[in-house]
Structure 1
Amino acid sequence: MALLAYVKKVYAAWIDYPLQDGTLLQAQYRILRFLGMGSYGLTYLCQDIRTGAELVIKQAKPSKGKLGRDLLQKEIEIMQQLQHPSIPRCLAFFKENKQMFMLMDYVKGQTVEDLIFERGAKFSEKEAISLIRKLMPVVSYLHTQGFVHRDIRIPNVILQGDCIYLIDFGLASRIGEPIEYVEGEALQRRRATEVTSDQYAIGHFLLFMLYSTFETTDVLEESAKGWEEELDLSPATKRMIRKLLQIDPAYTSTQAFIDEVNTILEQL
């Protein structure tokens, strides 16, 4: 069994090897560089050789077979229904060499993950909550259209000057849509097809930013503490995070959360 698992892992690594820089797709889109690999897809920065425009191409992960193609098809169908300046547009989709691809707008800027871990950015309580406030109109729009993102994380939010973008809709679903079973209570909350799943993800997103200023001198002493003890936050912010993480009853609506964020920002 161990040998079989190893062979499968090696095969997946081989079949999922990214396309080379310079590869031309549809005789029009030249791959400039590989951007990254997720659970179900690979993304590339490319250039439209006819217009010179830089775009993003997402490829269904070959090792995932039909599941990967079905998920990309679902992502395409969802993105085609969304029209928001903070959500990249799905421009086209195509098949080539038995592989499935989606063409999207390229959003320049830095992910919150890059800002924290590569640029060393530190977010104060007010700065972190202000960024969440800026993100919420995008999330609210998504919910009013009947969808949940289900993957709001620091790599999936891009900042470009004063603009903010939400990317990677690979796990997005219709609200209330039946989904596959996932193990673990935390993952169930994050993957639920309800607005509370995005609230839960935003709670963790907020904690990532708040921990950017956290410093400890004794790892053993601090390791047993939770965020409520480690982070110096206002009582209102702590109550908000507890609701987002469903430690306390969750917000009844996205607007109820936005209203509380506005109140907290007025007080900070």
Structure 2
Amino acid sequence: MRGLCKKIVQITERPLKDGTIINGRFTICRWLGKGSFGFTYIVKEHSSENLYVLKQLRKYKMMVPRSDHHSLQREGNILKELDHEAFPTIIDEFTYNNKHFLVMELIHGKTYEEIIFADEIKFSEIDSFKELLKILFHIKYLHDKEYVHRDLRIPNIIKRENHVFIIDFGLARKISEYDEDLDKASEDKKLFREVSFKSDFYALGHFLLFLLYSSYEPTSNKKRTWEEELNISVDGARIIRKLLQIEPPYEYIDEVIRSVETYIKANEVL
């Protein structure tokens, strides 16, 4: 019965409407989307008129007899501990009308999807690796603190001018933690969600391919692998294969950074 009630709540729950006032302090400007844990909005603070990101834990998650209802609290605590300029700053955390909320800095900028498809920017091989290197330095800070992000998808990497930011730490975990949800996950999902540094590398391998495909012009309808379609150097392809765990994978972030820096130094046109 409990499972049925949870399923009904999961299906019927809707995000709060634009204009809704939260805790007498914030007004919802627009709904950004929903994830497995919650709804996300842009809100305006009444006193400062600043815009922030507001995360609301979904009601059905509060019905789960595990630690899911602490997910926003965990995300807030991780970001407070990290306190890094490339990650969102936590503004507030509170419960209002039996709903749990987390308020954080709104990172202005564009996703790489917007840059490629809306702005029609194409990344060469060397440029793609340079973009990756910027992200790797931020991930090094994260990994050095023994955290793994586990959700380094295209929407969660933001670029503003020459700066790169990482958002959405809802799935981040301490490297020593265990996620029992992975027991029933598909093999591909395990590669993305494993509580291991390698899962971040795997995600960044896919991110790198996304950038490289921005310059790809198909010449055939025949289905081929990325190595067959993309004209990539031997060294560049080897890095990607290790990120994607096709070859023996990287174990630590410093290995990845060294490989990418060596590649850039050898291939950059002076």
- What is the TM-score when the length of structure 2 is the normalising length? 0.90
Tell me the residue number matched to 1:149: 149
Could you tell me which runs of 5 or more consecutive residues in structure 1 were left unpaired when the two chains were aligned.
none
Q: Higher mean Cα deviation, 100-109 or 111-120?
A: 111-120
User: Who is 1:237 aligned against?
Assistant: 236
Which one-letter code corresponds to 2:12 in the other structure?
Answer: W
How many residues align? The count is: 260
Q: Which residue of 2 aligns with 1:262?
A: 261
**1:131-153 C-alpha deviation (Å, 9 max, x unpaired):** 11111111000001110000111
Which residue pairs with 1:48 in the alignment?
45
- 3-state DSSP of counterpart to 2:71: helix
The answer (yes or no) to whether the contact 2:147–2:175 under 8 Å persists in 1 is: yes
Report the equivalent of 1:252: 251
SS at match of 2:231: coil
SS of 1:81's partner is helix
Shift of 1:203: 0.4
Q: 1: distance between equivalents of 2:21 and 2:114?
A: 29
Match of 1:163 in 2: 163
Cα distance in 1 between the residues matched to 2:171 and 2:7: 23
Q: In the alignment, which of 180, 199, 202 is matched to residue 201 of structure 2?
A: 199
Question: SS in structure 2 opposite 1:86?
Answer: coil
2:118 corresponds to: 118
RMSD: 1.9
CA distance in 1 between partners of 2:184 and 2:208 (Å): 24
Amino acid in the other structure paired with 2:266 = Q
Q: Does 1:227 align with 2:229?
A: no
Q: Deviations over 1:118-171 (max 9, x none)?
A: 333321111111111111111000001110000111100001111110000010
Check the 8 A contact 1:114/1:155 in 2, yes or no.
no
Amino acid across the alignment from 1:187: K
Identity %: 38
Q: CA deviation at 1:243?
A: 0.4
Which of 55, 59, 78 is 2:56 aligned to?
59
Q: Relative to structure 1, is the Cα distance of residues 8 and 175 closer, same or farther in structure 2, using a 3 angstrom cutoff?
A: closer
Structure 2 unaligned regions, length at least 5? none
Is the CA contact (8 Å cut-off) linking 2:158 and 2:166 kept in structure 1? yes
